[in-house]
Homo-oligomer: A and B are copies of this chain.
């Protein structure tokens, strides 16, 4: 199920395909850097639409061209498929021009 907490081993296996993401205390963490604020917020806007569609929203902090992201599934008390799905989308969207 999408809302079942995954094992650390399973998460680490999946993160091998998601460079830059770290597992820390039941959350997925990554800091994204962009060319400038417009690029950073443009990426956030794309992510926001996908996150709303998936009904799974990040905790994120933006400081000019940087965005620090935390993903976790509060209902499950840890990391689930839904976090990995949003993480993969974030990585994919960051690679677009």
**Are B60 and A62 in contact, with the CB atoms below 8 A?**
yes
Question: Could you say which residues of chain B place their CB within 8 Å of the CB of A45?
Answer: 41, 45
CB of A38 within 8 Å of the partner chain: yes
Q: Which residue of B lies closest to A55 (CB)?
A: B37
How many of chain A's residues have a CB under 8 angstroms from any CB in B? 15
Query: With A37-B52, A59-B63, A62-B62 given, can you name 12 additional A-B contacts, CB distance below 8 Å?
Result: A38-B52, A41-B48, A41-B52, A44-B44, A57-B63, A57-B64, A59-B61, A59-B62, A60-B61, A60-B62, A61-B61, A61-B62
A positions within 8 Å CB-CB of B? 37-38, 41, 44-45, 48, 51-52, 57, 59-64
